[in-house]
Amino acid sequence: MTPLTALLVRDMRIAVRVGGGALMGVLFFLVVVTLTPFAVGPDLVLLKRIGPAILWLAALLASLLALDRLFAGDHEDGSLDLILTGRAPLELVVAVKGVAHWLTTALPLVVAAPLLGLFLNLDAPAQAGLMLTLLIGTPALTFIGLIGAAIAATLRRGGLLLAIIVLPLTVPVLIFGVAAANAAVSGPVPFGTPFTVECALTLASLVIGPFAAAAALRLEME
Amino acid sequence: MVRYHGAHGPISLEKRPKTVPIPPPGKAPMRLTATELACRRGGRDVFSGVSFTVGSGEALTITGRNGAGKSSLLRLVAGFIRPCSGRLSFEGGDPELSLGEQAHYLGHQDAVKPSLSVAENLQFWAAFLDAELGAGADKVAEALEAFGLGEISALPAAYLSAGQRRRLSIARLVAVKRPIWLLDEPTSTLDATAQDRLSGIMGAHLAEGGLVLAATHAPLGLAGARELRLGELNPRSASAALSAGEEKP
C-alpha cells in the first residue's frame, strides 16, 4: 500500500467507525430537509420552488459538520507531526484527506438527495438534475472547507471559526449550484450555463484548496 | 528498490540509484551537526548557542530542567520549527530527503487513533512512513510481538492503557527503518520490562549505525551515550554544555 492510499483507507475507517461522524452529516441533512415541509406548510408549489435551495443549504451545512475535526484530531494526538516526517508532499496529504472526507460525508448526501427530493415535491428529471449539481458541487464545498479546517486545526473550539471562514467562500458555489438545480427543476434558464460555472468553481477549488490548506498547516506547526 | 515520492509512482522513469536507509557500520558514516542553534518560541529565547555532533552509532541524551528547550530542540531537528539562527547539517544520508523525512520522531503524544485496532494503527504508520512499497505485514506483526502487543492486536486502541499506547507508538521505530531517532521522553509511562526492551532496540539501532537523540530525565541505559545539558548557565538565554562522557565502548 502506498503512503497516500494508506492514509485514505485510514481516514475512511476512522470516519465510519464509532465517533467518526460520517453518519452525522447525512442524518443532519435528513433532519433539516424533513423539517422544512413542517415549517413551510403543505404548499406543494412553494416546496417545489424552494426545494433545490433547501437541499443545497442543508448539504452545505452538513458538509461543514465533521470538517472541524479533519486536522484538529490529527494535531491533538500528534499524528500531524508524524505526517510531516512522511515523504508524501503535504499538499497531496491534505488533498487525500479531503477526498476521504468527501467520500464518507458528502457522497452519502448526494445518494440521499433523491429520496429527500420526494419530500419537496420534485419529479424524476428534477431530482436527477439536482443530484448531479450536488455531486459536482459538494467536492468544492469540501475542498474550500479544507482551508478553514487547516486554519482552525490548532484551536480548541475551531468549529465556529471554521464556519465563519468557510461559509462566505462557498457563496459562489451555492449561487451556481442552486441556479443549476433550479434550472433542472423549473426551467426556463438552460441547465448548462450555471452548471458549467459550477464545474469551473469545483475545479478551481480542487487546486487552490490543498495548497492553501497545506500552507496554513505549515504556518501553524511553527 | 525504487524510491517513491508520494503515491503516484516514481517521479522519473529512469532507474534511480539504489538507496539504503541505514548503511552498515563503516560504510558511508552519517553525521548530524548542529552549529550555534538558537530557538525563539512565543517571543521568548528558549535556547541559543547549541552545538553538537552526532555520528553513526552514537547516542546523545538531552537533559535539562523543564522548559529548557529539550522538546523544542528535537522538534527543530525534525524540521517542525525553524531555528532563528544557526545551522543543521546531515551528511551521509539521502540528499533528496529532508532531515525530518529520514527521522523517526517520538513525541509526547502517541499518534494512536482510538477507533482503529492496535494492528491497524501500526500498519498505517508503517505504510505511511516507509518509502518502500508494501511494507511487510510480518514486519508489523513482529514489531507488535516485540512490545508485547501481539495478543491484543485486534483490540481497538481505545482500550489500551497509557503504557500500552506508548509501546504501540515505539513499535513504529522497529517496523520502519530510519537512520535518525528523535525521542522525547521515551520512557514515560513505560514499565521496567518495556524500558529494557526500549534500551534493547536503541542498542540494536546504534549497532546498525543509526543515530539516537533523546530528551530525557531518566537514564536510558545506553552505554557511552553523551549528554547535552540545556539551560545550565543562564535561564534567560540558555546555553548548552556538552559533556563528553565516555565515547563508544
Tell whether the model's pLDDT for residue A163 goes beyond 80. Answer: yes
pLDDT value of position A171:
93
Residues 60-119 of B with CB under 8 A from A: 75, 78-82, 97, 100-101, 103-105, 107-116
Stronger pLDDT, B246 or B56, i.e. the higher one:
B56
Interatomic CA distance for residues A79 and A70, integer angstroms: 12
**Residue B247: which pLDDT band, with cuts at 50, 70 and 90?**
very low
**B-chain residues within 8 Å CB-CB of A92?**
6-8
**Nearest chain A residue to B121, by CA:** A10
pLDDT value of position B131:
58
Mean pLDDT of A89-113: 92
Interatomic CA distance for residues B131 and A55, integer angstroms: 44
The winner for highest mean pLDDT among A78-87, A202-211, B168-177 is A202-211
Contacts of A66 (CB under 8 A, 6+ apart): A15, A20, A21, A22, A24, A25, A101, A105
**Residue A158: which pLDDT band, with cuts at 50, 70 and 90?**
confident
Tell whether the model's pLDDT for residue A173 goes beyond 90. Answer: yes
**B-chain residues within 8 Å CB-CB of A1?**
127, 133-135
Tell whether the model's pLDDT for residue B248 goes beyond 70. Answer: no
pLDDT digits 0-9 by tens, B153-162? 888 888 989 8
Taking CB atoms within 8 Å and a gap of at least 24, the contacts of A182-186 are A182/A52, A182/A53, A183/A129, A184/A52, A184/A125, A184/A126, A184/A128, A184/A129, A184/A130, A184/A132, A184/A133, A185/A48, A185/A51, A185/A52, A185/A122, A185/A126, A185/A129, A185/A130, A186/A48, A186/A49, A186/A126
**Nearest chain A residue to B9, by CA:** A2
Average pLDDT over chain B, rounded to an integer:
78
**A-chain residues within 8 Å CB-CB of B6?**
2-4, 87-89, 92
Please report the sign of the dihedral spanned by the C-alpha atoms of residue A59, residue A65, residue A66, residue A69: positive
Cβ of B155 under 8 Å from any chain A Cβ?
A: no
B114 CA: distance to closest CA in chain A (Å): 9
pLDDT value of position A215:
93
pLDDT value of position B10:
44
3-state secondary structure chain B: CCCCCCCCCCCCCCCCCCCCCCCCCCCCCCEEEEEEEEEEECCEEEEEEEEEEEECCCEEEEECCCCCCHHHHHHHHHCCCCCCEEEEEEECCCCCCCCHHHEEEECCCCCCCCCCEHHHHHHHHHHHHCCCCCCCHHHHHHHHHHCCCHHHCCCEHHHCCHHHHHHHHHHHHHHCCCCEEEEECCCCCCCHHHHHHHHHHHHHHHHCCCEEEEECCCCCCCCCCEEEEECCCCCCCECEEEECCCCCC
Q: DSSP readout, A86-127?
A: SSS-HHHHHHHHHHHHIIIIIHHHHHHHHHHHHHTT--HHHH
pLDDT value of position A188:
75
Q: Measured between CB atoms, which of B8, B82, B111 is closest to A78? A: B111
pLDDT value of position A156:
77
B127 and A86 within 8 Å at the Cβ level: the answer is: no
pLDDT value of position A8:
93
B100 and A85 within 8 Å at the Cβ level: the answer is: yes
pLDDT value of position A136:
93
Tell whether the model's pLDDT for residue B198 goes beyond 80. Answer: yes
Stronger pLDDT, B94 or A199, i.e. the higher one:
A199
Amino acid at B169: S
pLDDT value of position A69:
83
B116 and A77 within 8 Å at the Cβ level: the answer is: no
Mean pLDDT of B112-138: 80
Percent of chain B past pLDDT 70, that is, above it, reads: 79
A94 CA: distance to closest CA in chain B (Å): 12
Contacts of B76 (CB under 8 A, 6+ apart): B37, B39, B82, B83, B88
* Chain A residues near any Cβ of chain B (below 8 Å): 1-7, 9-10, 13-14, 17-20, 76-79, 81-89, 92, 96, 221-222
Stronger pLDDT, B240 or A149, i.e. the higher one:
A149
B244 CA: distance to closest CA in chain A (Å): 30
pLDDT value of position B17:
47
pLDDT value of position B66:
85
**Nearest chain A residue to B3, by CA:** A87
Tell whether the model's pLDDT for residue B8 goes beyond 50. Answer: no
B78 and A81 within 8 Å at the Cβ level: the answer is: yes
**Residue B21: which pLDDT band, with cuts at 50, 70 and 90?**
low
Mean pLDDT of A102-111: 90
Tell whether the model's pLDDT for residue A184 goes beyond 90. Answer: no
**Nearest chain B residue to A89, by CA:** B6
Under 8 Å between Cβ of B202 and B212? yes
Of the listed ranges A25-34, B66-75, B183-192, B219-228, the one predicted with least confidence: B219-228
A81 and B80 within 8 Å at the Cβ level: the answer is: yes
Tell whether the model's pLDDT for residue B222 goes beyond 70. Answer: yes
Of the listed ranges A26-35, A185-194, B230-239, the one predicted with least confidence: B230-239
